[in-house]
């Protein structure tokens, strides 16, 4: 099979032939149709300090995908050959306290597909049957390919109730954009989005944001009066990891405000912990997706809301044949686009 392979530590990938993976009795083998390019994949290609300290090569990367089941292990239930599926990329131990308590997203021994074991940038991938998500309803293949990051957005957006609340979203990358669409679908009152990219702020408006803020030119506090807000934001989604984003968000929260933090900080920064205490703020870290409540939620919302389906689909800005992976990665690295898809039916 063709695969995007990193043969050894260092920058780059090779588009080469690799042996097809063989499933065990608890596994499912999937013919990959499309994959999404994630920021993590860019780190792995560049082999920066994070990748060098977290990834072991040789490796086939890639964890955002949709495909067709071609083989099912004898111990697997509720998955059939021919099913169109995506996959939960966090593979858990099943034996730690959190796993046994049904909190699998908090497993202390999590392995990442395409990070710690061969992933989906290939014509075939094998994952445990319990990680397979079957798309029982019709779903756009591009959307199905990004169920992983869409799940990040849904996990963040549903961390706290946003019904009738004023929501601040800092960072309008693809996950931030989808979180805006989910908050609008669920019933937020005002949604304000901030970024420094004019292109992404324009996308935020189309996702349902009531106001957008280029924080290189304007303060978030200046937008609140224009919307008739008087007491600050009730809920915040910190999606950027930018050192200035969390302090700015804290400054604009109402007393008792709740912050869901998905963005990984690019470097340490100071936080006004006194304000966190005196304003009784809650900050909750978000990682991955709840297994599998988030998957149920996002499938149900897409199935019942044509508007949300359209908005999530619009986050995909480009699709390239897998053989043109270098051009696709360069486009994704530009930071001025939505999600980039690789089509593995064109190798």
pLDDT in tens, the chain (347 residues): 999 999 999 999 999 999 999 999 999 999 999 999 999 999 999 999 889 999 989 999 999 999 999 999 999 999 999 999 999 999 999 999 999 999 999 999 999 999 999 999 999 999 999 999 999 888 999 999 999 999 999 999 999 999 999 999 999 999 999 999 999 999 999 999 999 999 999 999 999 999 999 999 999 999 999 999 999 999 999 999 999 999 999 999 999 999 999 999 878 899 999 999 999 999 999 999 999 999 999 999 999 999 999 999 999 999 999 999 999 999 999 877 789 999 999 99
Pairing between β-strand 211-214 and β-strand 191-195 as defined by DSSP bridges: parallel
Domain that holds residue 166: 153-285
Q: What tokens does 183 get?
A: 């908050």
Minimal CA–CA distance to 277: which of 256, 261, 262, 259?
Answer: 256
Alpha-carbon distance values, 302 to 114, 297, 330 (Å):
26, 9, 30
What is the dihedral angle through the alpha carbons of 302, 303, 305, 307, rounded to the nearest 10 degrees?
A: 60
- Given the residues 40, 110, 156, 170, select the one marked as catalytic: 40
Dist. CA 332–CA 318, nearest whole Å: 9
262 and 157 together in one domain: yes
In a domain, 306, yes or no: no
Instruction: Give the CATH number, domain containing residue 83.
Output: 3.90.180.10
In a domain, 227, yes or no: yes
In a domain, 295, yes or no: no
- Rounded to 5°, angle at Cα 36 from 31 and 38: 135
Q: What tokens does 57 get?
A: 């090569």
> Into how many domains does the chain fold?
2
Q: What is the number of residues in the chain?
A: 347
Concatenating the DSSP letter of every residue in 229-280 gives --S-EEEEEE-S--TTHHHHHHHTEEEEEEEEE-SPPSS-----HHHHHHTT
In a domain, 7, yes or no: yes
In whole angstroms, what separates CA 132 from the centre of its chain? 17
Beta bridge partner(s), residue 32: 67
What is the dihedral angle through the alpha carbons of 328, 42, 66, 128, rounded to the nearest 10 degrees?
A: 150
43 is catalytic: yes
40 is catalytic: yes
Instruction: Give the CATH number, domain containing residue 253.
Output: 3.40.50.720
Dist. CA 13–CA 184, nearest whole Å: 39
139 and 157 together in one domain: no
23 and 126 together in one domain: yes
120 and 195 together in one domain: no
In a domain, 292, yes or no: no
272 and 322 together in one domain: no
Minimal CA–CA distance to 82: which of 44, 45, 132, 130?
Answer: 132
CB 297 within 8 Å of CB 154: yes
270 and 329 together in one domain: no
In a domain, 290, yes or no: no
109 and 170 together in one domain: no
236 and 331 together in one domain: no
- Given the residues 35, 43, 135, 156, select the one marked as catalytic: 43
275 and 199 together in one domain: yes
This prediction has a pTM of 0.95
In a domain, 244, yes or no: yes
């Amino acid at each position: 099979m063709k695969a995007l392979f990193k043969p050894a530590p260092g920058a780059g990938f090779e588009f080469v032939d690799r042996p097809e993976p063989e499933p065990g009795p608890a596994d499912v083998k999937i013919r990959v149709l499309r994959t999404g390019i994630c920021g993590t994949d860019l780190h792995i290609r560049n082999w920066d300090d994070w990748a060098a300290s977290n990834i072991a090569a040789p490796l086939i990367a890639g964890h955002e995908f949709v495909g067709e089941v071609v083989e099912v292990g004898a111990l697997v239930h509720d998955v059939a050959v021919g099913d169109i599926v995506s996959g939960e990329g966090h593979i858990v131990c099943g034996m730690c306290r959190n796993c046994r308590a049904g909190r699998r997203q908090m497993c202390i021994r999590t392995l990442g597909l395409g990070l710690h074991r061969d992933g989906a940038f290939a014509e075939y991938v094998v994952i445990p049957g319990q990680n397979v998500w079957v798309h029982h309803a019709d779903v756009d293949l591009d959307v199905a390919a990004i169920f992983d990051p869409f799940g990040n957005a849904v996990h963040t957006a549903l961390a706290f109730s946003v019904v009738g609340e004023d929501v601040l979203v800092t960072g309008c990358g693809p996950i931030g954009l989808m979180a805006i669409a989910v908050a609008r679908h669920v019933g937020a009152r005002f949604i304000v989005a901030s970024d420094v990219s004019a292109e992404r702020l324009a996308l935020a408006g189309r996702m349902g944001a009531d106001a957008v803020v280029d924080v290189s030119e304007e303060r978030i506090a200046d937008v609140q009066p224009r919307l008739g807000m008087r007491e600050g934001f009730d809920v915040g989604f910190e999606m950027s990891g930018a050192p200035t984003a969390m302090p700015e968000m804290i400054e604009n929260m109402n007393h008792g405000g709740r912050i869901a933090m998905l963005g990984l900080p690019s470097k340490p920064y100071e936080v006004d912990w006194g304000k966190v205490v005196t304003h009784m703020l809650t900050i909750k870290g978000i990682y991955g997706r709840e297994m599998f409540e988030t998957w149920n939620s996002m499938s149900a919302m897409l199935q019942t809301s044509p508007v949300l389906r359209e908005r999530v689909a619009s986050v995909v800005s480009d699709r390239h044949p897998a053989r043109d992976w270098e051009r696709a990665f360069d486009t994704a690295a530009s930071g001025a686009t939505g999600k980039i898809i690789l089509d593995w039916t064109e190798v």
